[in-house]
Structure 1
Amino acid sequence: MKSFLSILLLLLTLPLAAQPVNLKNAVIVVSPSIPAPMRTTAPQMLVEEIDKRTNTTLKQSQSWGATTLVLALSSDKDVLGKPVPTRTGTGLPEQKPEGFRIVTETGAKGTTLWIIGADSRGILFGSGWLLRNLKMDAKRLELVSPVEFASAPVYPIRGHQLGYRTTANSYDAWTVAQFDQYYRDLAIFGTNAIEGIPFHEEEKPSPHFKIPPTEMQVRMSELCQKYDMDYWVWTPVEFELTDEAKRKAEIEKHEAFYKSCPRLDHIFFPGGDPGDNHPREVMAFLKDLQERLVKAHPKAKIWISLQGFNTEQIDYFYNYLAQNKPTWLQGVVSGPSSPPMAETRYRLPKNYQHREYPDLTHNVRCEFPVERWDQAYALTLGREAINPRPFFFAGIHGKYAAFTDGFVSYSDGCHDDINKIVWSQRAWDPTKDVNEILNDYSRFFFGWLVANEAADGISALENNWQGPLAQNGGVEATFRFWKSLETAHPELKNNWRWQMLLMRAYYDTYTRRRLIYEQGLEKTANAILAQAKEGDVEKSMESALAVVTKADKEPVSPELRKKIETLCADLYASIGLQTSVPKYKAKNYERGASLDFVDYPLNNRWWLADEFKKVQAMKTPKEKLERLHVIGNWETPGEGSYYDDVSSGSKSPRVKTISEDATDIAWWDNGFSRARLSTQTFQNEPALDYDNLDPGSRYIIRVAGLGEALLRVDGYRLKPLIYNKANETFKEWIVPLSLTQDGKISVTFDEPEESHLNWRQHSKVSDVWLLKQ
């Protein structure tokens, strides 16, 4: 008995478990003191987003009345005579700009769920928090209660560039309504700024435009006004500012645009990306712009980036600030090809702000490439594929954010949607767990029933890009996981975010299966060539080619290929995602055209066919046979010798460096190059370490690439025996015996002087052999 009473008393003293509160019959009461248009925007957002997911339309009331549950929005001390619950103290989140507090208050007439905002944006972001945390479906509209939560952002600038222009892979196909929904989605996750591109017009307008770009830029301004977001515009100048006539016309064009916008907060001028003007001309031009800007928008600000500036130009800029102390300049933006962010914050006077311009949209040839991205992905998915990288970008944000006042990202399509959400959430709270962000994302966009699993699936897709693809068995596991989710949730088949994630699961798996299959065919073909003898050169080439081209005649997993095509069609229909140039009119093959490369060879069958034609043209049987042996033994140089495909994670065990651009792709022939796969990926100055060498043997180093290769062994510059600069030709050096006596060597390359060349034309090292003689 005593034991029973003890247990009973213990149970009575335990706190009651949190219970969900049913919001199906809630009434929304809005404080009249909330500024317009947020007084309308926030309740409309709540009503519409809840209705989409529950078929429940919450009512709004102008009075309290006798009700069991009220959802009250307030930024004042009372709402229609009812006091707003407040807390004592200073520095509380709900007292800071954009901060909010969510709290339940139970009284005689029922429960009130308060959304208390420090200001207009606080109401918006508090409403967003509620939507992210509701359990919603056709049967329920619940929130765990009681609630006591308050938050304010750490970084004041949290935005994304949404360029309505031909270059974009999806935005150019959107209607005003689609932009409205995307603004709302981003706001729900803490975004407070949108950047447009009003003047960077291509020669040929997009075939997808729903309305003219000039009209859409004004509509985007109106949407920023609706959601109380800052409206930024990115405005480069690609002519010489010393041309007075063009300069005058540009200023007049700006002024006309300023007058047309109901809201405009910030003008961002990229210094030299694009453009080629000295800051001497740029600063004078921006000062003149600011005089026109403030006439239409008195509080609007001017920003500049130092992208593309050389050392002299950067020094000129800082000297200008020191001497002139321009009050018309708000701050500096750091983006790709800018000086280091820590240096910028250090040199920039404290009265100027510093904003990051992170590239969230690209995978290669970009600011934040996928490190050691598998060659097969780089050749097929390409520069602008669907790219959820939540953990990577959370790390990047953490690395650089402390030097800034926030960010407005670079984005050229909705394929980077998850990256945008991660940046907005981590800029709001840098300590927020990435898994929690993904759960919030999945709960809101896919529903609470699938939230945890979808969040895990997103993480798994990021892991698909880790390490050598052929050895990444997790790709198949991820595919089975997503296929199971697809089967279990057919109601999500028209959800574009769901379609994108399925697309990646299918595409990654199809690419991996092709890679394993096609590389296996090539190994068989290489063995045929390596064993070729005089008199059977033609037969060996014919047999080898028949083997590698089985990939075309007997493709692997055609059902996955068909599904990818279907998902691409679905994405074009749902969100205008242009995954193909001929089929969906993408601007070019770098702009997300993954469908066009889904069958790009993952073995060297195109290259072999071309090489065999060259062999047939050779004069002597000996030459022909020697070339076949070189081809057949390309990756297998023999016992005691070594081969590295320097940018292939699975074929470069001795390479110690990562290209500046991870796995960079030369991008010849619009991505359809017939060159050997290894020569399409490269590093500029790789470093390799070798050990277990035979001290008594002579070694030769052979290099394939393009242009120069200034080689050192253990720090000593060697003179070449052979030095061909053309693509897929060889350079060779003899390694002095004195350097191999300890059984190991280190190979490095000096950077050639190529400052006069575009970065795409710089010298490339693609293959390195150490050949034991």
Structure 2
Amino acid sequence: MRRKSIHLTALLWLCFGIAIAQPITIKSANIIASNAIPSPVKETTVKMLTEEIQKRTSIVLKPITTQPKSNEYTIALVLSSDKELVGKAIPVSTDKNEPEFKAEGYRIVTELTDKGGIVWVIGANARGVLFGAGWLLRKATLLPKIIQLESKTNVATSPEYPIRGHQLGYRHTANSYDAWTVAQFDQYIRELAIFGSNAVEGIPFHEDENPSPHFKIPAREMNVKLSEICQAYDQDYWVWTPVTFELTDTKKRTDELNLHEDLYKRCPRLDHIFVPGGDPGDNHPREVLPFLKELHDRLVKYHPKGKIWLSLQGFSVEQVDYFYQYLRENKPTWLQGVVSGPSSPPMAETRYRLPKNYQHREYPDLTHNVRCEFPVRQWDQAYALTLGREACNPRPYEFAAIHQTYAAFTDGFVSYSDGCHDDMNKVVWSMRAWDTQMDVREIMVDYSNFFFGKDLADNMADGIAALENNWKGPLAQNGGVEATFAFWKGMETKATPQLNENWRWQILLLRAYYDTYTRRRLIYEQDLEKQANSILAKAPQTGADKAMILAWEVLEKAEKMPIGYELRKKIEQLCQTLYNSIGLQTSVPKHKAKGYERGCLLDFVDYPLNNRWWLEDEFKKLKPIVADSNAKVMARLKVISTWENPGAGSFYDDVSSTSKGPRVKTIVDDATDIAWWDNGFSRARLSTQTFQNNPELVYDNLQADARYIIRVAGMGEALLRVDGKRLSPIVYNRENETFKEWIVPLNVSQDGQIKVTFDEPEESHLNWRKHSKVSDVWLLKQ
């Protein structure tokens, strides 16, 4: 481990009869910076400390250039290579192996009494000073007219991983970044740096061709502004630049090279060019690699230390092998390393095959909840249908574990992000890349202390963790959602006017309201469907037409007598507030979001959480044929009313539901995936919109002498095995919401147990969204 930490505070234990030292209260302070700290980071750090302290305390740090007075408080910014500061000795270690001598490391030393003293921020380099100042802002108690610090603190640390960054693409695809001003980007990049980030990735090209309606300035200008901000904060500036045309097209290739060169010469800082190999893009590496060499030739004309990176995303086995063969034969010095992202080869394999002189960077998706690299495992379908891919998603404990799993194979990361909704996840990754042993709750307390204030820090940390727990297990059974809501309602009553204007507070509060509204609606609407199915089951006695009419009257209550009006109203208010404060686009019609999949939770807040849309369509199909085909209608109504309740001795599993799939044993990434038909407004039965590709189910306590039939609903192929034996179907329909059926041999089920599995069909020629799906499985006793 590269990090070393020493934390000596003036705590004298009461068991020794000595009172514990109290924090020092500071009501005014100076700030001084060593002339050895290079510009512009020196000026940026002074400005950052001055502005952030003033916002929270109204105390304005006074800049000085002479030796600090002993009866005043001073924050001193120095380098570990400095011998002294205006005649004042610097408390730096003589051991060059200490953290403040390692890249980006720092030491914080406080020498304070109740009359004055110095807070030393000692950095290994300019970045070390910046990050040390960030530590001070995260840890200090900043109250109106007061700064509180421990009188004796000695903390030293340096990062474990050299690359710690986040993608902030100024493009319409993002759900908020495209609405930001230069000042908002500056503030956000500052805040990321305070939590240990050292890199920003832009997406510079082709956005002016189809500009976002939210752009404050053209993309061509904003990407240069991002470079300028990175220069000020000493953040590496990366750009993500896919090649979406055929590289054999000479004209397009030349035009693209010229486009790149134009950006290169306009950016004051540009450190890394990252070209995703095949996501998007369809070029073979034999074309991509020479193109990257040409990019490097143009890059170093303006940025001599600039570096080129490539991901192997979407590459076939042959293409991946070609890439490594190229490295062995050509040993390109212009290539800095490989990026691993979604659809890349396994990270362990990449690090193993990649020569040690090349770096390996992760490209983790911190922004999406479903249909992504790290989906929320076994996410309740009600959330997946309504919150969707890009809702506010603090997952601190889960992402800390994910980072721990993969970090050891890399030199760090630059995350994939499409908006500010994943803010907590960015902070967790930055801090854990700095120190993989850092306590997750400590990170959340620091986050809450800095953004919400010391008085709320512990409670807010717990409230954020509670929101993560809201997404665990079946929603209807998760009573913790109501407890979380009660907590946030209590916090809301204490919120100050300043907190109400804080977008981070607004977005977390939105989640608390949205989760609760969704749960209450789920319970209510599912109960209405049960009542409707009971009515349909009596159709043989009442008549099909009357049964459908009565059932629909019950289902209509979801819209005519909706639940949670006040919650619904608050959700709409918070969505509008977030659009005004941070440009968060939660609706296509109201906020001009690029698409419904891009965080538009307001557009899905009332999406049915029962099957009433599907049932309405089924009734419309059946009513015209009641008189002529009553038997057919009755048979269909029986299938509908018993879909989830097939009768005594029979079993039903919705393979993607944590509450309705008790026999499903597989826990896989796509277990809560949504097919995403009709821009999310599909009227299909809810269970058929979710799926697994190859689920595994186990049945026990079966009747030894009974005959069973397995029925499957889904799309495409279903290559079924029972206890390892492939069965031949007696019914085999491939369309959605139609059935496939197999007879279970008696000699297999006579022991009272069977295991059902599915072989994976050969569908490598198809897009992943078109692969075969299994959504519902029945074991029907005959």
Q: Which residue of 2 aligns with 1:731?
A: 740
In structure 2, the CA distance between the partners of 1:234 and 1:15, relative to structure 1 (3 Å rule), is farther
TM-superposed CA distance for 1:366, in Å, is 0.2
Give secondary structure in 2 for the equivalent of 1:19: coil
- Alignment partner of 1:745 is 2:751: no
Distance in structure 1 (CA, Å) of the matches to 2:151 and 2:753: 66
Pick which of 63-72 and 575-584 moved more. Answer: 63-72
Give the alignment partner of residue 615 of structure 1, picking from 611, 619, 622.
622
Q: What's the CA shift for 1:660?
A: 2.9
CA distance in 2, matches of 1:20, 1:11: 16
Indicate whether 1:768 and 2:777 are aligned: yes
Show the 5 A alignment for 1:252-271. 252-271=258-277
The answer to whether the aligner puts 1:664 opposite 2:673 as a matched pair is yes
Give the AA of the match of 2:550. S
Residue 692 (structure 1) aligns with? 701
Q: Deviations over 1:242-284 (max 9, x none)?
A: 1111111111111111000000000001000000000111110
SS at match of 1:655: coil
AA matched with 1:688: L
Deviating above 4 A after TM superposition, structure 1's stretches of 4 or more consecutive aligned residues are: 9-16, 106-109
Match of 1:494 in 2: 501
Distance in 2 (alpha carbons) for counterparts of 1:275 and 1:626: 50
Match of 1:6 in 2: none
Q: Is the 8 A contact 2:671 2:691 kept in 1?
A: no
- Give the equivalent residue in structure 1 for 2:224: 218
Measured at CA, do residues 542 and 222 of structure 1 come closer, stay the same or move farther in structure 2, by a change above 3 Å? same
Q: CA deviation at 1:68?
A: 2.2
Whether contact under 8 Å (1:163, 1:171) holds in the other structure is yes
Shift of residue 24 of structure 1? 2.2
Q: Partners of 2:121 and 2:26 in 1: how far apart?
A: 14
2-side partners of 1:633 and 1:93: how far apart?
67
Moved more, 57-66 or 520-529: 57-66
**Residue in 2 that maps onto 1:68:** 72
Residues 339 and 597 (structure 1), Cα distance of their counterparts in 2 relative to 1, 3 Å cut: same
Cα shift readout 1:500-555 (whole Å, capped 9, x = no counterpart): 10000000000000000000000000011112116611000000011011000000
SS at match of 2:150: strand
Whole-angstrom distance in 1 between the partners of 2:482 and 2:362: 37
Aligned equivalents of 1:189 and 1:662: distance in 2?
A: 34
- After superposition, residues 374-389 of structure 1 pair within 5 angstroms as 374-389=380-395
Matched, 1:251 2:257: yes
For residues 16 and 151 of structure 1, what CA distance do their matches in structure 2 show? 29
- 1:325-340 aligned at under 5 Å gives the runs 325-340=331-346
Instruction: Please say if 1:28 is aligned against 2:31.
Output: yes
| Corresponding residue SS for 2:585 | coil
Whether 1:348 and 2:354 are equivalent positions in the alignment is yes
Which residue in 2 is equivalent to 1:48? Answer: 51
Cα distance in 2, alignment partners of residues 335 and 432 from structure 1: 24
Shift of 1:23: 2.8
Q: Which residue of 2 aligns with 1:5?
A: none
CA contact (8 A) 1:166 1:202 kept: no
Instruction: Work out the CA distance in 2 between the residues paired with 1:277 and 1:270.
Output: 11
Aligned to 1:570: 577
Displacement of 1:141 in angstroms is 1.1
State the distance in 2 between where 1:112 and 1:746 align: 70
Which range moved further: 748-757 or 255-264? 748-757
Q: CA RMSD in A?
A: 1.5
* 1:393 corresponds to which of 399, 412, 422: 399
Secondary structure in 1 aligned to 2:96?
coil
Shift of 1:617: 3.5
Distance 1:277 1:621 in 2: 58
- Determine the C-alpha separation between the residues in 1 that align with 2:635 and 2:116: 90
Residue 135 of structure 1 is matched in structure 2 by: 141
Shift of residue 331, structure 1, vs aligned partner = 0.4
Output the amino acid matched with 1:225. Answer: Q
Whole-angstrom distance in 2 between the partners of 1:408 and 1:723: 47
C-alpha contact 1:659 1:684 (8 A) present in aligned 2: no
On the 8 A contact 1:364/1:382 being kept in 2, the answer is yes
Tell me if 1:485 matches 2:491: yes
Three-state SS of the structure 2 residue aligned to 1:711 is strand
> TM (normalized to structure 1)?
0.97
Structure 2: gaps spanning 5 or more residues: 1-11
Give the equivalent residue in structure 1 for 2:611: 604
- The amino acid across from 1:44 in the alignment is K
Aligned match for 2:191, one of 161, 185, 199: 185
2:121 paired residue among 115, 119, 125: 115
Q: Contact 2:731–2:742 at 8 Å: present in 1 too?
A: yes
Report the Cα distance in structure 2 between the residues aligned to 1:541 and 1:106, rounded to whole angstroms: 79
1:704 corresponds, among 713, 717, 728, to 713
Identity of aligned residues (%): 69
Number of residue pairs aligned between Structure 1 and Structure 2? 765
1:420 equivalenced with 2:420 (yes/no): no
Shift of 1:323: 0.6
Instruction: Work out whether 1:444 is the aligned partner of 2:453.
Output: no
Distance 1:600 1:147 in 2: 54
> Which residue does 2:9 correspond to in 1?
none
Query: Which residue, out of 504, 523, 526, partners 2:533?
Result: 526
Which whole-Å deviations, capped at 9, do the CAs of 1:203-230 have from their partners, x for residues lacking one? 6311000000000000000000000000
* CA distance, structure 2, for counterparts of residue 720 and residue 106 of structure 1: 80
1:658 deviation in Å?
2.6
Inter-partner Cα distance in structure 1 for 2:13 and 2:603: 67
**Secondary structure class of the residue paired with 2:454:** coil
> Which residue number corresponds to residue 6 of structure 2?
none
Q: Call closer, same or farther: CA 1:437–1:106 in 2, change over 3 Å.
A: closer
Q: d(CA) in 2 for partners of 1:405 and 1:11? A: 45
5+ residue gaps, structure 1, are 1-8
Paired letter, 2:84:
D
Partner AA of 2:753 in structure 1? K
CA-CA distance at 1:134 after TM superposition = 1.0
| Correspondence for 1:364 | 370
Give the aligned partner of residue 3 of structure 1.
Answer: none
Does residue 1:206 correspond to 2:233, yes or no?
no
1:59 aligned onto 2:59: no
The CA deviation string for residues 60-106 of structure 1, in whole angstroms up to 9 with x for no partner, is 10112534221100012211222211223231110100000010235
Structure 2 match to 1:759 = 768
Q: Deviations over 1:323-360 (max 9, x none)?
A: 10111100000000000000000000000000000000
Alpha-carbon distance, 1:707 to partner: 1.1
Q: Residues of 2 paired with 1:250 and 1:202: CA distance? A: 15
Alpha-carbon deviations, 1:262-318, whole Å to 9, x = none?
Answer: 000000010000000001111100011101100100001000000000000000000
Inter-CA distance 175–617: structure 2 relative to 1 (3 Å threshold): same
Question: So what's the TM-score if we normalise by structure 2?
Answer: 0.96
Indicate which of 129, 151, 156 corresponds to 1:150.
156
Task: Indicate if the aligned counterparts of 1:200 and 1:236 stay in contact, CA closer than 8 A.
Answer: no
The match for 1:585 is 592
CA contact (8 A) 1:647 1:659 kept: no
Deviation at 1:417, TM superposition (A): 0.2
SS at match of 2:169: coil
Distance in 1 between residues matched to 2:720 and 2:227, nearest whole Å:
55
Q: Report whether the alignment pairs 1:510 with 2:517.
A: yes
Structure 2 Cα separation of the partners of residues 108 and 631 of structure 1: 77
Distance in 2 separating the partners of 1:726 and 1:659:
24
Task: Look up the SS of the partner of 1:533 in the other structure.
Answer: helix
Letter in 1 for 2:485: F
The one-letter code of the counterpart of 2:758 is F
Q: What's the secondary structure of 2:658's corresponding residue? A: coil
Q: 1:285: which partner in 2?
A: 291
Supply the AA of the counterpart residue of 2:295: L
- Residue equivalent to 1:628: 637
Q: Confirm or deny: 8 A CA contact 1:534 1:625 kept in the other structure.
A: no
Q: Matched residue of 2:239: which SS?
A: strand
Q: How does 1:307-322 map to 2 (within 5 A)?
A: 307-322=313-328
Q: Which amino acid aligns with 1:703?
A: V
Query: Which residue identity does 1:329 align to in structure 2?
Result: L
Deviates more, 1:285-294 or 1:101-110: 101-110
CA distance in structure 1 between the aligned counterparts of 2:156 and 2:698, rounded to whole angstroms: 54
SS in 2 for 1:114: strand
